[in-house]
Each structure stands twice: as structure tokens, then as C-alpha cells.
Amino acid sequence: MIDEARAEIQAAEDARALQDVRVRWLGKKGRITLELKGLATLDPDARREAGREINVVKQQVEALVEARKEELARLELARALAAERVDVTLPAAQGSSGGVHLLTKVTNRLLDVFASLGYEVVTGPELETDHYNFEALNFPPEHPARDEQDTFWTEDGRLLRTHTSPMQVRYMETHEPPFKVVVPGKVFRNEAVDATHEAQFHQLEALVVGERITMADLRGAIQEMADALFGEGTRTRLQPSFFPFVEPGAEFAIWWTHPKTGREEWLELGGCGMVHPNVFKAAGYENVTGFAFGFGIERLAMVPYGVPDIRWFYQSDLRVLRQFRGAL
């Protein structure tokens, strides 16, 4: 009998079902109650014996009901907690983070190098006057050197600067020598745009002025830059060239191993020279000498990183830009 009661009690899935089982066994008309009533027909000895047995079963059934009741309460609590559970580990929606443009990285690296060599970093206006962009840099009005630097003009005669060199004169007008400065910035040319020419690009200009600055200092400065960028002992080369604002003038190149092809070759970087006396005159300087150099920043990004087309820098195509996330 107890096995039957136990099975029914265990099968009760909630408090109400358990109550039904309880009534069925222990209620006024329950099985146990009826058994006890049935004792009246027995003789006293048999009644005592059977009565004890039935009472044992009755206590067992009561205990089983009680135990099941507690178990159901525990299960109910667990179910309620599970239903109210908040999953704090749910991943947040992923925002996309931007990155630093390759040209900005290359520029920052250059500025780090020059800052470590004691240069001050200054910037100048992109909208210039003919005076600073050409005249003060010793380009006379009809000089053919101007033809190589056609640009965009405003109706009042100003222009988008064709190089960072105008900042040489602007800086000298407002500062006393000796000094060492570098000028990074955007420059503009009226170009037929193709894979290596853009109407807008970037340059870095350097100007060093003092009492006895010589060509040897210029050689040294370019060597120091090459050492810092490509490693100690990197070879550098100057070849005679013409720029109106320097005399003598030269083009400079750095000997390096192309990271993609593995070939060693000269990387032609830019122009340099000793500041022309007419430029010092335009800036109101006397009894000083100095050197200047300037070069395009795009080239220092395109060649090492194998960017085949300069236009890609300005098209904001994420497929291009993302490739340089890990650069530098």
C-alpha cells in the first residue's frame, strides 16, 4: 500500500495535485481513514495489531506528502528565478571604430623624427598670395619655373599654394634666427590627374637658418633623416638641380631596399639647397645662411606600402583604408 501511495505522491506535479492525493489517502473518505474505520469489525487483539500497522503507513504517507510539498516549493522557486533571469553577458551591439589614415601615420612618423632632431613643427595657410608662393621665393613674374607649378586662383588674385616653401618666408618674417623648423601640409597643383598626379597632395618642408650653416649641414640633415627613417648608415645622394629659391640647388635620394621587390634602389624624394640670398632679402634677413629641403609625403606612403594609385588616398574607400590599420 505504501508503494502505491508513494508513486501517486511523486507523480503530483504541483501543490493542487498533491492536495488531491492527500485527500484521496488521508481525507475523511480517504483510503487510510477507511482502513482505520474497518478495524471496528475485528476482535480486540487483531485490531490492536492491524491498527499499529495502519498508523505506521499513515505516518509514512504524511511524511511523503510533506517532503513532496517542500520539493515542489523548491522547484517552483527555481522556475520563477529562471524566468526572471537577466543575461548580463549579452554582447553589446558593436559600433565600428575609425582609424588613422596612412598619410597621417606617415606624416606623424616624419614629425616624430624631426622633433627628435630638434626641429619645431609649424604650419601655414593653404590659400596663399602670389608674393609668398612665388615672388618672395625668387620666382620673377614671367619666370618659366612658374609654369611647372600651375594651380587654382581666386578672383582676387590669391592662389592655393603649390608647395610648402612659402612658409619659409612667413616664418622668417616673424622669427629671429637661429632656428630649425619643419612645415607639413597640403599643397595644390592644376594637374591632369592620373595614378601618380593629384590636384591635392602633401609636402614636408624643412628650413634651418643660422650664422654659419653650410651645405655640409644640409648633407648631415638629410643623412640624419634617412638614418631615422630607414636605419643607421643608409646611403643618401644629392644631384645638382634648379629651384629658384636655393643656390646651389639639388635633388636628394635615399638608397633603400624596396620592401615588396627586395631590390635595392634610389628613392628620389625631393629638392633641397642653400637658401638663395634673394629669399633672405625678401624676409629681411642679413648675415645668415641656411638650407631648405622639401618633399612629397604621398611618395613615402605609396612606395613602401605598395599603393599603386595616388587617388586612392582621397577616395575614402574603406577597402583601401582598412588595409593600413596595422601600419606603422
Q: Which residues bind ligand DAH (CB under 6 A)?
A: 163, 165, 205, 243, 246, 270-273, 292-294
Question: Alpha-carbon distance 241 to 29, whole Å?
Answer: 120
Closest to ligand DAH by CB, 177 vs 294, is: 294
- Nearer to ligand DAH by Cβ, of 269 and 301: the residue is 269
What is the phi/psi pair of residue 161, to 5°? Answer: -55, 140
Buried-exposed string 266-287: b where 16+ CB fall within 10 A, e elsewhere: ebebbbbbbbbebbbebbebee
Identity of the residue, 185 or 271, whose beta carbon is nearer to ligand DAH in the bound complex:
271
Rounded least distance, CB 326 to ligand DAH, Å: 31
With 0-12 CB in 10 A as exposed, 13-18 as middle and 19+ as buried, what is 300? buried
Least CB distance from residue 192 to ligand DAH, whole Å? Answer: 17
Q: State how far the Cα of 63 lies from the Cα of 67, in Å rounded to an integer.
A: 6
Q: Residue 292: beta bridge partners?
A: 207, 273
- State the minimum distance, in angstroms, from the CB of residue 157 to ligand DAH: 21
**Which CB, 54 or 204, lies closer to ligand DAH?**
204
Which region holds residue 134: left if phi is over 0, alpha if psi is between -120 and 50, else beta? alpha
CB 181, min distance to ligand DAH, A: 11
Laid out side by side, the sheet with 289-296 consists of: 120-121, 179-188, 200-210, 289-296, 264-275, 246-257, 236-241
Least separation in angstroms between residue 291's CB and ligand DAH is 7
**Minimum CB distance to ligand DAH smaller for 150 or for 317:** 150
- The helix or strand, by DSSP H or E, that contains position 291, with its residue range, turns out to be strand 289-296
Tell me which residue has its CB nearest to ligand DAH: 271
Q: Which is nearer to ligand DAH, 132 or 324 (CB)?
A: 132
Least Å from the CB of residue 246 to ligand DAH: 4
